Amino acid sequence: MAADTVCTLVPYFKVHPGQLAAFRAGVPAYIERTKNERGCVHYAFSFDGDNAHCREGYDDAAALLAHLDNVGALLQETLKIADLARLEVHGPAAEIEKLRGPMAGLKPQFFVLEPGGIRR
Domain residue limits, the chain: 7-112
48 band by pLDDT with thresholds 50, 70 and 90: very high
Cβ neighbourhood burial of 73 (10 Å; 0-12, 13-18, 19+): exposed
Average of pLDDT values for 77-96?
A: 97
Say what the pLDDT of residue 3 is.
79
In CATH, what number does 7-112 get?
A: 3.30.70.100
Average of pLDDT values for 56-68?
A: 98
> Does position 31 have pLDDT exceeding 90, yes or no?
yes
Residue 95 to residues 35, 85, 100, Cα–Cα distance (Å): 22, 24, 9
The Cα–Cα gap between 107 and 83 comes to 13
